[in-house]
């Protein structure tokens, strides 16, 4: 299972979380990555943790003020990027353009979507992975794998129909090892989570709990 921790714009210490994630990944053998704010990619990557961007723009080098250039994210140490997160929705053409930008910069890609129909559309654009997240469950602590398991199995089926090569993650409310096991049982190959780690009093303990059933 792939555990991708999105720090969003939460007021946590990204280096502290990243250091814990690197240690937990090393100790457990579980793939754990952290997606900090763009300005913190470099500091997070220096911890040795697998580092992702939260977004890259559908642009090349040029006059694009305020954009997040994929090449700049990669130079700072990112090896992958989320796209079309529920909190940063893109137009279809911009998802496609951002996938091209990520490809140029050798970034792995995960396109987020709300439901199985959108997952099918996202998978057709040929990212490395997709992540299904019902927006109403994000940040609630109620895991999608329990509250809406059909959306996870539906996403796995929808992606497989369109593109057998694409990984399927699920997210929203995931915070425990039990949630991780449920996601795996439903066919997901990873989880995308945020508040369960970024807002935890002890992010290291939260990460250890998350991977515990996989040991």
Ligand X SMILES: O=C[C@H](O)COP(=O)(O)O
- Residue positions forming the annotated binding site for substrate: 6-8, 138, 173, 194-195
User: Residues 133, 136, 178, 212: which is the catalytic one?
Assistant: 133
- Contact between 24 and ligand X per CB under 6 A: no
> Least separation, in Å, of the C-beta of 197 and ligand X?
8
120 versus 173: smaller Cβ distance to ligand X: 173
Gap between the Cα atoms of 9 and 208, Å rounded: 23
Per the rule left: phi > 0, alpha: psi between -120 and 50, beta: everything else, 139 is: left
Measured torsion, CA atoms of residues 58, 60, 62, 65, in degrees rounded to the nearest 10: 30
Helix (H) or strand (E) holding 66: none
14 versus 171: smaller Cβ distance to ligand X: 171
Gap between the Cα atoms of 106 and 123, Å rounded: 18
Among 171, 182, 186, 207, binds ligand X (CB under 6 A): 171
Sign (positive/negative) of CA torsion 145, 151, 154, 159? Answer: negative
62 versus 115: smaller Cβ distance to ligand X: 115
Are 36 and 7 contacting, i.e. CB atoms less than 8 angstroms apart? Answer: yes
Contact track, ligand X, 118-147, x by CB under 6 A: ---------------x----xx--------
By CB under 6 A, name the binding residues for ligand X: 6, 85, 133, 138-139, 171-174, 192-196
Q: Which residues are catalytic?
A: 85, 133
């Amino acid at each position: 299972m792939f555990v991708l921790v999105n720090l969003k714009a939460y007021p946590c210490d990204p280096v502290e979380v990243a250091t814990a994630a690197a240690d937990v990944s090393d100790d457990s053998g579980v793939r754990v990555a952290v997606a900090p704010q763009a300005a913190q990619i470099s500091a997070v990557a220096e911890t040795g943790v697998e580092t992702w961007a939260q977004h890259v723009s559908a642009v090349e080098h040029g006059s694009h003020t305020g954009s997040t250039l994929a090449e700049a994210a990669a130079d700072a140490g990112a090896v992958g990027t989320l796209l079309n997160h529920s909190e940063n929705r893109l137009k279809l053409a911009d998802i496609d353009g951002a996938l091209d930008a990520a490809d140029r910069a050798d970034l792995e890609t995960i396109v987020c979507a709300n439901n199985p129909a959108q997952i099918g559309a996202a998978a057709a654009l040929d990212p490395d992975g997709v992540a299904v997240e019902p927006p109403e469950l994000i940040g609630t602590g109620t895991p999608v794998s329990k509250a809406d398991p059909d959306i996870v199995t539906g996403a796995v089926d929808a992606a497989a129909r369109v593109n057998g090569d694409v990984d399927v993650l699920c997210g929203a409310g995931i915070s425990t090892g039990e949630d991780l096991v449920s996601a795996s049982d439903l066919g997901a190959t990873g989880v995308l989570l945020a508040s369960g780690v970024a807002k935890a009093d002890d992010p290291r303990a939260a990460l250890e709990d998350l991977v515990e059933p996989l040991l």
